[in-house]
């Protein structure tokens, strides 16, 4: 029988202990799988007719009260047995689950199980010899499986079914195992007959990885001639590199092909993850390694342009920034996003969309008839128009949420009126717009006026805070602040902030493709870490001591000086 035609019943038990003769089943969970798809589920609490030990409750969340009114095992096992049928019983550490099931069956005077059994722990030992642990939790982490209800029977059975699917795919690809008979034999195959990890991988694991520093950075995998094959970045270099060389056997075909060629690994440490992201981008574009698919070239990203130099500003998008007095926001991902924002501003704020010639002629246009313009050609009220422009500026910097609220209300009205396509369109536009504006909220300024200190405290690094200095929308410098700050470190922080922000540098007349790309990478990083960041805008007209005090007070555990102290 082929694996695709077989029925697998992936089973997990929760028990009051680890000894089948002395302890009892208190929950049964199972999923029925055919051709890689879950087609049915079984879950039932069981009254073990004894109290649930505290250590078991702590691990599973199952209390004695929860199972007190559950049916006894003699009523549950017949239902489970009917669910199992002639299927192959699969479990993670199958000997444990089968021994408990058979012990309970003997106690109620029933026949023990005769189904074929498949153990995913046995498969893991043969397919993933490089993985440090073969427990279900580690496999779920390795395969990035989102376990809903860990340490409950059905949740663990669901996770095990995903692991089984991964193993079956790997067995077919690497070992040409396509029948049930071959699959059942493979779990008992001796380790010596399973393909070993290549020697050069073992050499890198044993001789190179122990020397990798515990820091953020960029790493380069090279072939025997020193040609870069892949460039990557890491929050912590040891963790990221170990992930490449752990359980190589289960990697995708492209990655395995690359790892066959890797003979050396180099790295460059950085002070912060953000610097690693920017350095990775530059090196990939400069060296274009064969196995890097993304970031191989710079893109000309569009910016939003608010023509504030004009008495009656308009909004548009452009790929090139000019020294023309206009305000530029972004960049955004592509022209579709740029056009969407311009359209939303036109519909909600009604900035003029006519050209200057028509404006000066005082001729009413189609947009006025469509109620998409404040008609400055007729009203000639620059102060009222300026008020609208201020609202647009607040919107573009993520400070004004009224447009998003109105879109939410329109979406709800469309849904109530059964106009579901319109509601879906509004929902998609709103979600996309919200992401764009969230990235602008930290900057809260046009690109050329974006000067800020971003204080970042990573949850897993309680011993430090990073201060990211941004000027003209671009990353300038990172300052690592060991906690708590010493007087010398506070002095250094102040000197570096003043050096960056008070430098006599004119705003850039334009931004290169590299500048635009790195501004966008910065905005992505800020968005991803928005819950961990505090942003202090550096205002040229404000007190320097006041701003330094604000930066220091944003660093955890610090008591900043009062302004003027």
Side by side, the strands of the sheet bearing 217-222 are: 228-234, 217-222, 264-269
Beta carbons of 466 and 272 less than 8 angstroms apart: yes
Mean pLDDT over residues 422-439, rounded? 88
Mean pLDDT over residues 278-304, rounded? 91
Give residue 128's pLDDT: 84
Cis peptide before 479 (omega within 30 of 0): no
Give residue 14's pLDDT: 94
Give residue 256's pLDDT: 79
Give residue 322's pLDDT: 84
**pLDDT of 546 over the 80 cut:** yes
pLDDT tens digits for range 437-469: 888 887 778 888 889 999 998 877 888 899 999
Least confident of 11-20, 90-99, 404-413, 548-557: 548-557
- Best CA proximity match to 470, nearest among 543, 521, 433, 436: 521
**pLDDT of 522 over the 70 cut:** yes
DSSP bridge pairs for 47: 72
Q: Where are the domains of the chain?
A: 3-193, 199-287, 303-443, 450-554
Give residue 331's pLDDT: 87
Pairing of strands 88-91, 117-119: parallel
Reported confidence tier of residue 208, pLDDT bands at 50, 70, 90: very high
**pLDDT of 147 over the 80 cut:** no
Q: How far apart are CA 411 and CA 422, in angstroms?
A: 7
Pairing of strands 88-91, 7-15: parallel
**pLDDT of 557 over the 80 cut:** no
Max mean pLDDT range (225-234, 374-383, 508-517) = 225-234
**pLDDT of 555 over the 70 cut:** yes
Q: Give Cα separations from 410 to 6, 141, 390, 419 (angstroms).
A: 50, 41, 24, 11
Give residue 211's pLDDT: 94
Tell me the HSE value of 370 on the side-chain side, using a 13 A CA sphere: 12
Q: How far apart are CA 438 and CA 144, in angstroms?
A: 27
**pLDDT of 362 over the 70 cut:** no
**pLDDT of 149 over the 80 cut:** no
pLDDT tens digits for range 225-250: 999 999 999 999 999 998 888 777 66
Beta carbons of 109 and 73 less than 8 angstroms apart: no
CATH topology of domain 199-287: GIY-YIG endonuclease (3.40.1440)
Which residue would you say has higher pLDDT here, 518 or 255?
A: 518
**pLDDT of 148 over the 80 cut:** no
pLDDT tens digits for range 389-418: 999 999 998 888 899 999 999 999 999 998
Mean pLDDT over residues 166-185, rounded? 88
Give residue 320's pLDDT: 84
Give residue 558's pLDDT: 58
**pLDDT of 133 over the 90 cut:** no
pLDDT tens digits for range 46-97: 999 999 999 999 988 999 999 999 999 999 999 999 999 999 999 999 999 9
* CATH homologous superfamily, domain 3-193: Ribonuclease H-like superfamily/Ribonuclease H (3.30.420.10)
pLDDT above 70: percentage of residues in the chain? 94
Give residue 98's pLDDT: 96
Give residue 563's pLDDT: 39
Give residue 333's pLDDT: 86
Mean pLDDT over residues 350-367, rounded? 74
- Best CA proximity match to 448, nearest among 469, 472, 470, 475: 472
**How far is C-alpha 256 from the geometric centre of its chain's CA atoms?**
24
Q: How far apart are CA 232 and CA 218, in angstroms?
A: 6
**pLDDT of 560 over the 60 cut:** no
Q: Dihedral, CA atoms, 84, 86, 92, 97, nearest 10 degrees? A: 60
Reported confidence tier of residue 530, pLDDT bands at 50, 70, 90: confident
pLDDT tens digits for range 467-479: 999 999 899 999 9
Tokens of 517: 């790309």
* Average pLDDT across the chain, whole number: 88
Tokens of 362: 């005082």
pLDDT above 90: percentage of residues in the chain? 51
Give residue 565's pLDDT: 35
Give residue 193's pLDDT: 58
Beta carbons of 469 and 410 less than 8 angstroms apart: no
> Which strand (E) or helix (H) includes residue 424?
helix 420-443
Reported confidence tier of residue 561, pLDDT bands at 50, 70, 90: very low
DSSP bridge pairs for 392: none
Q: How far apart are CA 299 and CA 440, in angstroms?
A: 20
Active site residues: 151
């Amino acid at each position: 029988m082929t694996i695709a035609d077989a029925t697998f019943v992936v089973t997990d038990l929760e028990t009051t202990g680890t000894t089948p003769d002395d302890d009892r089943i208190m929950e049964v969970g199972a999923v029925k799988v055919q051709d890689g798809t879950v087609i049915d589920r079984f879950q039932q609490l069981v009254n073990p007719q004894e109290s649930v030990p505290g250590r078991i409750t702590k691990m599973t969340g199952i209390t004695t009260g929860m199972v007190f009114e559950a049916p006894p095992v003699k009523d549950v096992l017949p239902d489970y047995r009917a669910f199992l049928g002639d299927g192959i019983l699969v479990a993670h550490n199958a000997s444990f689950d089968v021994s408990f099931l058979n012990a309970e069956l003997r106690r109620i005077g029933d026949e023990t199980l005769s189904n074929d059994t498949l153990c995913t722990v046995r498969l893991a030992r043969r397919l993933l010899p490089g993985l440090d642990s073969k427990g279900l939790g580690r496999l779920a982490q390795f395969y990035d499986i989102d376990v809903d209800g860990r340490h409950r029977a059905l949740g663990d059975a669901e996770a095990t079914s995903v692991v089984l699917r991964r193993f079956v795919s790997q067995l077919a690809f690497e070992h040409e195992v396509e029948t049930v008979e071959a699959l059942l034999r493979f779990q008992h195959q001796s380790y010596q007959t399973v393909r070993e990890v290549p020697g050069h991988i073992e050499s890198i694991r044993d001789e190179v990885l122990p020397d990798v520093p515990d820091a953020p950075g960029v790493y380069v995998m090279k072939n025997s001639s020193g040609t870069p094959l892949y460039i990557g970045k890491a929050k912590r270099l040891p963790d990221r590199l170990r992930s490449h060389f752990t359980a190589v056997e289960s990697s995708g075909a492209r990655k395995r092909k690359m790892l066959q060629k890797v003979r050396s690994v180099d790295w460059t440490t950085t002070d912060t993850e953000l610097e690693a992201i920017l350095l990775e981008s530059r090196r990939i574009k400069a060296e274009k390694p064969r196995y890097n698919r993304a970031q191989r070239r710079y893109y000309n990203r569009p910016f939003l342009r608010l023509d504030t130099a004009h008495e009656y500003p308009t909004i548009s998008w452009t790929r090139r920034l000019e020294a023309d007095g206009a305000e530029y926001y972004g960049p955004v991902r592509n022209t579709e996003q740029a056009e969407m924002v311009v359209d939303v501003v036109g519909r909600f704020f009604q900035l003029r969309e006519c050209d200057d010639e028509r404006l000066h002629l005082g001729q009413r246009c189609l947009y006025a008839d469509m109620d998409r313009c404040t008609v400055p050609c007729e009203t000639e009220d620059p102060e009222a128009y300026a008020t609208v422009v201020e609202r647009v500026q607040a919107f573009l910097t993520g400070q004004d949420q009224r447009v998003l609220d109105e879109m939410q209300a329109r979406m709800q009205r469309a849904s109530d009126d059964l106009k579901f396509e319109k509601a879906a369109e509004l929902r998609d536009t709103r979600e996309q717009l919200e992401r764009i504006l969230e990235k602008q909220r930290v900057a809260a300024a046009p690109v050329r006026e974006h000067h800020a200190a971003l204080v970042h405290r990573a949850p897993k690094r309680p011993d430090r805070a990073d201060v990211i200095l941004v000027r003209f929308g671009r990353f300038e410098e990172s300052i690592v602040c060991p906690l708590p700050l010493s007087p010398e470190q506070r002095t250094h922080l102040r000197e570096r902030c003043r050096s960056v922000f008070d430098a006599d540098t004119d705003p850039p007349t334009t931004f290169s493709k590299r500048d635009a790309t790195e501004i966008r990478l910065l905005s992505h990083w800020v968005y991803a870490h928005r819950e961990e960041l505090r942003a202090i805008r550096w205002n040229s007209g404000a007190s320097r001591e006041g701003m330094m005090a604000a930066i220091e007070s944003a660093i955890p555990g610090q008591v900043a000086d009062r302004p003027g102290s």
